[in-house]
Amino acid sequence: MKIISVICILLLTIAYSSAHGFYGCGGVSCPWGSISLTKFGICGCVEIFKCHEVSLTTRIIGNWEHDGCSFTQYDVTITNNMDANIKNIFIGTDETLKLRAYDSLWNAKRCSADELSLPDYQPSINAHASYTFGFILRGNVPANLAILSVVY
């Protein structure tokens, strides 16, 4: 009976960490304010302000009102500053990503309510290149975006 209990707890732990965007290396998640960075098979946590390998910039394209509601369009550029291709990247967000409609996000894939990634047709970002995605939000409050994990 104890073995079954231990197995159940282990399975629940795995399921919970998989469902909640578990980022880190070797089973250890990175602390808040850090990025899980994997370069050439070596994984570690790097504080966001010390991470110069990749950057995320947001730019307002325009804003307008329609039927008493305001909308703002944004472009977000991911810049790869390394001599290697980005193979995977995950960007975290929160309730501030208030899309105008389901199709108001382009050139990115919404993995969950609080996570974005590269779309299937753009599986990587070349060395020293940039990739831009965009969205339209309800209102004029920008979405909170932060890089969670990068794999080179």
Strand, coil or helix: 142: coil
Structure tokens at 7: 């197995």
Phi, psi dihedral angles at 105 (to 5 degrees):
-125, 130
pLDDT at 24: 59
DSSP 28-71: EEPPTTEEEEEETTEEEEEEGGG--SEEEEEEEEEEEEETTEEE
Q: Give residues with Cβ within 8 angstroms of 27, minimum separation 6.
A: none
Task: Tell me the pLDDT of the chain averaged across its residues.
Answer: 85
Give me the sign of the Cα torsion angle 121, 124, 127, 133: positive
pLDDT at 49: 84
Domain boundaries defined on the chain: 1-151
Q: Is residue 28 pLDDT above 50, yes or no?
A: yes
Distance CA 24, CA 35 (A): 8
Domain 1-151 has CATH 3.40.50.11540: no
pLDDT tens per residue, range 78-107: 999 999 999 999 999 999 999 999 999 999
Strand, coil or helix: 30: coil
Region 19-46 average pLDDT:
75
pTM given for the model: 0.79
Question: What is the identity of the amino acid at 133?
Answer: F
